[in-house]
């Protein structure tokens, strides 16, 4: 049985740029549709995307709403890996995050990157 490929998608752009905030989820759901394990890591202002109520406000021109893409990603066993120090600097707590979020530190990010075939950063 062939091993499932893994794609790491590091997202560093949040609500300030709806298109760049949405594109990682377009890529992730496309990867999932092709039986690729897509792992999203949210860093910098992108951690705000995991905050309850934020995804609903982000709609980029000519793309599906972020909330729809995020729900699809999570429903296909995707996890929002959210940078702990980025959350702390924004005073966002685990209680503020949507279901499907997991708080990770730098060592987890390194481990994910080293285990993947490819890494993409937005």
CATH for 76: 3.40.1260.10
For the cut 90, the answer to whether the pLDDT of residue 91 exceeds it is: yes
Q: Establish if 56 belongs to a structural domain.
A: yes
**% pLDDT > 70, the chain:** 98
For the cut 90, the answer to whether the pLDDT of residue 3 exceeds it is: no
| Cα 52 from Cα 119, distance rounded (Å) | 27
Q: Establish if 114 belongs to a structural domain.
A: yes
Q: Establish if 110 belongs to a structural domain.
A: yes
Q: Establish if 1 belongs to a structural domain.
A: no
User: Which tokens go with 32?
Assistant: 């999932």
pLDDT band at 90 (very low <50, low <70, confident <90, very high): very high
User: Which tokens go with 86?
Assistant: 């980025």
Domain that includes residue 21, residue range? 6-121
Q: Establish if 115 belongs to a structural domain.
A: yes
Q: Establish if 23 belongs to a structural domain.
A: yes
Give how many domains the chain has, as a whole number: 1
pLDDT band at 42 (very low <50, low <70, confident <90, very high): very high
pLDDT band at 93 (very low <50, low <70, confident <90, very high): very high
For the cut 60, the answer to whether the pLDDT of residue 109 exceeds it is: yes
Q: Establish if 25 belongs to a structural domain.
A: yes
As a whole number of Å, the CA-based R_g of the chain is: 13
Q: What is the mean pLDDT of residues 70-85?
A: 97
For the cut 80, the answer to whether the pLDDT of residue 53 exceeds it is: yes
Q: Does the CA dihedral 108-111-112-118 come out positive or negative? A: positive
């Amino acid at each position: 049985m062939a091993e499932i490929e893994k794609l790491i998608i590091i997202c560093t752009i949040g609500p300030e740029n709806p298109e760049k905030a949405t594109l990682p989820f377009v890529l992730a759901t496309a990867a999932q549709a092709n039986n690729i394990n897509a792992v999203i890591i949210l860093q910098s202002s992108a951690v705000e995307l995991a905050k309850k109520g934020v995804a609903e406000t982000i709609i980029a021109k000519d793309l599906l709403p972020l909330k729809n893409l995020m729900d699809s990603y999570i429903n296909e066993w995707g996890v929002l890996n959210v940078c702990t120090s980025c959350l702390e600097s924004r005073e966002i707590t685990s209680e503020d995050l949507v279901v499907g979020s997991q708080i990770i530190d730098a060592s987890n990010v390194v481990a994910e990157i080293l285990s993947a075939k490819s890494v993409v950063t937005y």
